Amino acid sequence: MGNQITEYSAELYDYRISVSSRLSDAWQGLAAETDHLHQAQMRSSEDIALLLQTLAKSVKAEVVVDVGTFTGCSALALAEAVGANGKVLTYDISDQHLAMAQKYWDAAGVADVIEFTKSDATAALKQLAKSTSNSVDLIFMDANKKAYSDVFELAIRLVKPGGYIIVDDTLWAGKIVESDSDIRQVPALREFNESVSRDARVQAVVLPIGNGLTIALKL
């Protein structure tokens, strides 16, 4: 095994952020307001938001799908990457935090780029896949873990060859390798991870950032 960082201290996380590119003031404001919420841990961390932007820019993304809007942190990061002529389609079963999201999407000048739909993600992507295929540049999956396999299958249909399917929470903060884990999402995540690793339609790597992040390049 090559050199590995086995523990991430808060200091190392802060250092990583300090030597990475900076997200916009609007994104920082949205993250700070989200952090006052009881479910703040659900928002994308800064390193993941930066990685989403970097990957979206690397493929000059124009059409992006964001599964799981919450307060809109991932949608905002992606909208800033696709630019004024791009589109971010974002889905959530709840619109509880939409007003907060929209305030910062407006502040960033990307409200017109983001299209929110209140819907179950699988149902919404099934609907989308009826009208288009091989047309999306990047999909970020960050909602219902039990539906990951179904959503991934739809994502494969929707994403262009050379585009990305990015999946959050795939290591469940390390619990994935604990044999006695009682986290209810872990069995579905293990099954999902194993099926992605065998999937010849993608090249995938799982990174230990955030709660674990899978980056799958559609071949």
List of residues contacting ligand SAM (CB under 6 A): 42-44, 68-71, 73-74, 91-94, 120-121, 142-144, 147
> Minimum Å distance from CB 163 to ligand SAM?
18
> Minimum Å distance from CB 6 to ligand SAM?
26
* Residue 73 or 216 having the CB closest to ligand SAM: 73
* Residue 17 or 93 having the CB closest to ligand SAM: 93
Q: Taking a C-beta distance cutoff of 8 angstroms, is the pair 190, 176 a contact?
A: yes
Q: Taking a C-beta distance cutoff of 8 angstroms, is the pair 138, 184 a contact?
A: no
Tokens of 171: 């290591």
* Residue 150 or 199 having the CB closest to ligand SAM: 150
> Minimum Å distance from CB 4 to ligand SAM?
27
> Minimum Å distance from CB 75 to ligand SAM?
7
* Residue 121 or 156 having the CB closest to ligand SAM: 121
CB-based burial of residue 43 (10 Å sphere; 0-12 exposed, 13-18 middle, 19+ buried)?
buried
Place of tokens 């619990």: 175
Place of tokens 């249909």: 157
Three-state SS at 153: helix
